[in-house]
A and B are shown apart, each in its own frame.
Chain A
Amino acid sequence: MKIKLVRTGGFIPITKAVESDVNLTDKELAGLLKIIQSGPSAPRIKDGNYYELTVGSNSTPVDLEKVPDEYKALFSKLKSDLKIVK
């Protein structure tokens, strides 16, 4: 399944994105999103970065600090592959 991770915000606001095929079932992805989605009242970090995960046509703001251990390697790779959107 294809997923897209987008990073926005920062000291200068640049957008970075990466798309990748992952070996996760719909159920696994739904469970993961439930864990890592950021709450509506998440504080606005001054100059902070924000991440959004898109699966299919649904985009969800996510907090990567909440990523469970078994998915950490996947998200570490996604983050390192982020490219500036020109």
Chain B
Amino acid sequence: MAKRTFALNVNGGSYEVFVEPNKCLHDTIREDIGFTGTKEGCGTGDCGACTVWVDGAPVTSCLVIVGEAEGTAITTIEGLAKDGTLHPVQQAFVEHHGMQCGYCIPGMIMSSAALLRDNPHPSDDEVRHAIAGNLCRCTGYTKIVEAIQSAAKA
């Protein structure tokens, strides 16, 4: 099928993209709209690096074809900071150095920010469950959990 126009709402802005219908949301967000904060790891829904919110729910954007996202409100890592101030979870990752190479962190923050929105004071087990779909190959997760719990207490 030829390219066609899809209308997307990303971080509160309206965008029209002209792409093939087999393009996934992740590639569309990065290549056609220009929000490059979202990363792709595996491309098959296993690693969580590409996690964005669709209507507030974390999903792996590599498993969403572009048309499936029409009519939804998409939030990427660029949509969390407000008026130049980092989201509390972002700030906590900075302060606690909850990262090493950093590649998984945008997805990790999307999952943990959704957790704290729905469950402001989670246990460590609840934190680890919430980020179970986000693989980090550097940190061993300890600093990440500390950062999220610090944001919960802030």
Query: Do they bind each other?
Result: no
Interface residues in chain A, defined as those with a beta carbon under 8 Å from any beta carbon in chain B: none
Residues of B within 8 A of A (CB): none
